[in-house]
Structure 1
Amino acid sequence: MMITDSSIRIPLKGAEEGEVTVVASQIRGYGVWDGGLAQGGALLAGWEGPAPSLLFLWVTDAQTNLMQRELSDIQASSATSGPPCSFLLLVLKEQLQELQVALLASILDMKEYREGHSSPSSIGLTSPLAWTDGLVLLHSCPPPVDQHLLRLLGQSTEKSSQVRRSQRNKTSTSGSSGLQQLPTRLIQYPAAPSKGRITVTKEDLACLDAGEFLNDVIIDFYLKYLLLEGVGGSVAKRSHVFSSFFYKQLSRRRAAGEDNTPSVPDRHMRHQRVKTWTRHVDIFTKDFLFVPVNQEAHWYLVVVCFPGLDEVQREDFWSRTGGAERAAGPRAFSLRSQQPPECTKQGCQRDTVLKRPCILVMDSLKLSYHENVCRLLRDYLQVEWEVRRATPRLFTPDSMRSSSCRVPQQDNSSDCGLYLLQYVESFLQNPVVQFDLPVCLDNWFSRQQVRQKREEIRSLVLRLHKSQQHDGEN
């Protein structure tokens, strides 16, 4: 099976070069299930060893009809007998590990796939679909297809009735508006008439459930909130946060229609795609640029430090932070079990500090290859400088060093987005002031802070939702 950002191509057993294609935008929902739940059914009868993972796809009627025609061209007529079915159940070769499930889910949560997720539904379920949600959907199939699929999954008539009753109870207790329609808009942030608003929906809120993978909307919303009002202070004013789409747009390959002439350097072509993103801000007047990166379905943070600085400098730490502020720092942490990192504002005991133009990488798993990211950002800075300053300046690995920081690490496969957000929040609250590389931030924050982050963000969205509703009524 081949999964790309535009489609899923599924080979057919027993057919030479036969396959069916599911278009990304035609997927209404998906679920990744533990096959052990279906071991009592015909689907895995005779399966030896640990039960494999199951991939469940719910597709549109248009995709269903197209697949039925494709099947009729490839296989015997019996393959398309009976009423059409909008569900695909794929048995994978083995049980996916937790990280693999997260990676698969992150692909199926890409923008191209989510176009189908937002289609109206009378059932009102959202992806990823739980096992019980899938059974509810199978009940909607016309007979005898519904009973056939349920038997494959080991669901007896009695079990099916229990699921139906459970779903009816769920609908009645959650209210008619909860399940009768797919995600609706919760908030726009910042509120009108501010520009650059981010819309957060109920679907986006669902990715804050335990074990879910944060999507780009939640990442962008919380980063903007942190910068505008969540932390405040001088560090926020000296910082710029890029959208999660910035690096994605900067790094993508040349598309059809883009200038392919060899005379146009690659860095200029890439800069052309994002040149309007900073038309209202001179990034070289900022001390810190925060760039969220999603690489191979894993979130991490890149911080460009002092892009306007062309050499290493030393400065008086007191003149930058103020004596009272510096003196209060260690006492503020005196009740904690660990002291803040020495290179940060609240842990620094120096009279002078070193600052340098550099690129800091903060990765909670260290699974990704970072050098290409740093190279593309240097190329971007070089062209942006030429455009802004109308003078040449080279951003090289020597003049702008890159370094992976020692930062708190995640202990599961789903919290990388939360760690990215916590890195930014901690930086704004307690920034790095001493730029000896590599930067060591092991005690920057506790793991408990990250574990509370999902509920903190959820509460924030719901609080803003209530406030915006109240303002709308007035």
Structure 2
Amino acid sequence: MNDEDFVRGDVMDLSDVPKSEQFSTAITCSCVRLIPYRFETIEPVTFTSKGIRINGILKDMDEKFTLNIYKHEVIKVIAHFGSSDQPQTLLTLYLLKTCALYVKTQLCLPDDQPSEQTGFKSQTSFHTRRLVLLFDSIPAATRETIKTMFSCVDEISAIDAADIFDRIADSDRKATRTQPSVRQLRADEQMNLLMYPPKGTGSLSVSMEDFVCLRKESYVNDIIIDFYLLWLRNTLIPEATRERTHIFSTFFYKRLTTLTRPTDMRQTAAQKRHARVQKWTKVVDIFDKDFIIVPINEQSHWFLAIICFPNLKGPVTYDTNQPVEPQHLKRARGKKVSMQIGNTTITPLTKRGEGGALPAALNSEICRLGDDGESERDEAEGDDSDMASEDSYNSNSAKEPTATGKEQAAATPTSTSTPTPQVSSGPARSSGAEEVPAVKQPLILIFDSLAGASRSRVVATLRDYLTCEYRVKKPDAQAHVFNKDNMPGHCVKVPQQNNFTDCGLYLLQYVEQFFAEPIRDYRLPIKQLTNWFDFITVTKKREDISNLIQKLMDETNTQQRLILPVIEFPTLNGQLVEYPEEAESAEFEEEEGHEDDELNSESYEENNAVAEMEVDPVGDDLPVAKTPTAVVVSTTATTVNSGAATVTSKTKRFVLKRSLQNGLGTTMTSNGSVMLPQLVSTTTASGALGGAGTHLGQRANSGSLKIRKIEP
């Protein structure tokens, strides 16, 4: 048989073998050796008319492997079928080079091992391409089958077999001596864990301080976000798409909007902003890209902007790139939008002076990271009317039926019951009897896990940046000004966080999902992403990133294996964890003597520092704040007028405080015993509240709650 004609299949499939020649026998195998490697089998080794089938577990990877070795690929077999002195039996298979490379690939063996040991590089060594199968015993009838199956069986004596077993044992002793030592790390150690990627430019250092950010109810920092985005780009994004994608670091937007002393006073505000980051694209032309990923941390909250198709001058059909008529876009009105966090509804009562965002003080407390020390951002002027509303429609399909709010909420990305563009995820949208082709067009899409705050200033700032960048990158082309008509901004309806700590994780999942399940129609509004992914996908991301860091550390640390410290995750092996009640218990202490507090007193100002929001508790459930400092939540509407809060005398305030746990994922009881987390099957959120975002490089401790109720 010619190697080039050979197609590897399953040797268990004997459908093409004459019935008279068919046979299959299974023998329990203690292990498979490819010196110096050892692999455990998970089922008996099967010998068939075609060859040998071996199923086992990869060492240290907890993954299964399957080998289908055809009998024509076995050059020679050395067999010892046991004796009274050496009862253990063995079969040594010498393989063709092509088969040996196949075995190496299936067993995930590295290239940089000594050829004397693996035998994959040297064809003259005694160990060349030798696979050893060890058995406790082989029945007499099966021995004859093996001898008939392979015409090249060489049966050796017990002395020769003992020599092979001695060499295997000697190899194991050497491997034990050369194995790296193992050290368990502590969470308080100040050290770098890994460089990613380990080689080349643009490597990122991940430290222990960054790893601890993955603790449950802590705030994921900028290093973790940059690291995971870089890993996504290098591993999960398809190569063709990767070449058409540019990912900015978390510091890009901060640098773009941080006030600095300009070098040229004649520059416009937009040009000054662009000058701060002009060198960031020195070796890349973003107008050659289809997608530009911009992670943003604003008011201590992470969200995502994706600039889509900046090289297009208008909408074109998705598949054929034929120009189409621009959409008639309705503009969003400056309306008050409620945010639902667990069992709590928060309604902004005021806007920021410019741009309609939440007040800086309020948003900072909602997101709860404390004072991040940032100065006022240097952003472009923006208004909600600059953003495309959710009611935008296509000019060629004005008669499309409009789904009600309940219908839209019930729709799923795969729904086909309502022929509206809001829920379509296919390549075309149906409008009665008319098919509307899918399009791609220049857009700035905002993905925010705490929808409600205005992002018009962000969109306007990015448009200004694109205008200046285009002038620099295309000096010979006609100037192109990006505006709300040729680069619309749109806040996409996406899954929302149900606590105040996971916004960074949602940002990462938005990017991952964007490339795993690409949008196929960029006609606005984009509504098919409401159920893009489920709650557990994001919740287990802390554990997933931790496992990724450990895996990359194991690949780079050859002298010593470093084991990451044990910290609390909301999941264990991908399942939700229920921590002991003591770790989440809430105590209510009603304090008297506040009737005489004056509105201008120091105690009043301290207790009402963040009372500029409406909170509507559901039933008897109270919001639980996972924050290192007190957060005040009002159970009645608070009227805000020119930044000053006016509170009725009957308002109740709940001051939420948290005590510390040990840092090992367990809770210490009063008698000193350790309470371990328990797995639960629930797939719903706990409803606990905490900080909404992450300050760059900042984390918080988790622990039990103490709620002190203050009634004036």
Distance in 1 (alpha carbons) for counterparts of 2:519 and 2:500: 27
Structure 1: tracts of 5 or more residues without a match: 1-173, 320-336
Matched residue, 1:235: 241
Contact conserved, 1:317 with 1:353, CA < 8 A, in 2? no
Matched residue, 2:186: 178
1:408 aligns with 2:492: no
1:341 CA displacement: 7.9
1:316 CA displacement: 2.9
Structure 2: tracts of 5 or more residues without a match: 1-181, 323-410, 429-434, 562-712
CA deviations on 1:339-372 (whole Å, 9 max, x unpaired) are 558989x941538311110100000002433111
Distance in 2 (alpha carbons) for counterparts of 1:241 and 1:472: 33
Contact conserved, 1:310 with 1:399, CA < 8 A, in 2? yes
Contact conserved, 2:425 with 2:521, CA < 8 A, in 1? no
Match of 1:434 among 521, 527, 533: 521
Distance in 2 (alpha carbons) for counterparts of 1:370 and 1:379: 15
Q: SS at the partner of 1:408?
A: coil
Distance in 2 (alpha carbons) for counterparts of 1:413 and 1:244: 20
AA matched with 1:187: L
Contact conserved, 1:406 with 1:438, CA < 8 A, in 2? no
Distance in 2 (alpha carbons) for counterparts of 1:175 and 1:468: 15
Distance in 1 (alpha carbons) for counterparts of 2:237 and 2:292: 16
Q: Note the 1:64-143 alignment, pairs <5 A.
A: none
1:396 aligns with 2:399: no
Distance in 2 (alpha carbons) for counterparts of 1:445 and 1:296: 26
**What is the RMSD of the two structures over their aligned residues, measured on CA atoms?**
2.8
Q: SS at the partner of 2:558?
A: helix
Q: 1:471 to 1:358 in 2, by over 3 A?
A: farther
Q: SS at the partner of 2:490?
A: strand
Contact conserved, 1:267 with 1:383, CA < 8 A, in 2? yes
Contact conserved, 2:318 with 2:520, CA < 8 A, in 1? no
Matched residue, 2:195: 188
Contact conserved, 2:494 with 2:530, CA < 8 A, in 1? yes
1:433 CA displacement: 1.9
Matched residue, 2:284: 281
Q: Which has the higher helix share?
A: 1
AA matched with 1:305: C
Contact conserved, 1:188 with 1:199, CA < 8 A, in 2? yes
Mark the structure with the bigger radius of gyration. 2
Q: SS at the partner of 1:380?
A: helix
Question: TM-score w.r.t. structure 2 length?
Answer: 0.37
Distance in 1 (alpha carbons) for counterparts of 2:559 and 2:513: 32
Matched residue, 1:313: 316
Matched residue, 1:418: 505
Q: 1:191 to 1:271 in 2, by over 3 A?
A: same
CA deviations on 1:116-160 (whole Å, 9 max, x unpaired) are xxxxxxxxxxxxxxxxxxxxxxxxxxxxxxxxxxxxxxxxxxxxx
Distance in 2 (alpha carbons) for counterparts of 1:200 and 1:246: 19
Q: SS at the partner of 1:377?
A: helix
Match of 2:262 among 258, 261, 265: 258
Matched residue, 1:295: 298
Match of 2:204 among 176, 180, 198: 198
AA matched with 1:214: V
1:267 CA displacement: 1.3
Distance in 2 (alpha carbons) for counterparts of 1:417 and 1:312: 31
Q: Which has the higher strand share?
A: 2
Matched residue, 1:15: none
Q: SS at the partner of 2:241?
A: helix
Matched residue, 2:539: 451
CA deviations on 1:307-349 (whole Å, 9 max, x unpaired) are 0111111143799xxxxxxxxxxxxxxxxx96558989x9415
Distance in 1 (alpha carbons) for counterparts of 2:262 and 2:234: 35
Q: 1:184 to 1:340 in 2, by over 3 A?
A: farther
AA matched with 1:407: V
Runs of 4+ in 1 over 4 A off after TM superposition: 174-177, 337-344
Q: 1:216 to 1:357 in 2, by over 3 A?
A: same
Identity over aligned residues, as a percent?
Answer: 36
Matched residue, 2:53: none
1:446 CA displacement: 1.0
AA matched with 1:238: R
1:374 aligns with 2:459: yes
1:365 aligns with 2:450: yes
Q: 1:178 to 1:287 in 2, by over 3 A?
A: same
Contact conserved, 1:356 with 1:435, CA < 8 A, in 2? yes
Q: SS at the partner of 1:470?
A: coil
1:287 CA displacement: 0.6
1:225 aligns with 2:231: yes
Contact conserved, 1:360 with 1:403, CA < 8 A, in 2? yes
Q: 1:340 to 1:221 in 2, by over 3 A?
A: farther
AA matched with 2:539: R
Q: 1:340 to 1:197 in 2, by over 3 A?
A: farther
Distance in 1 (alpha carbons) for counterparts of 2:558 and 2:425: 43
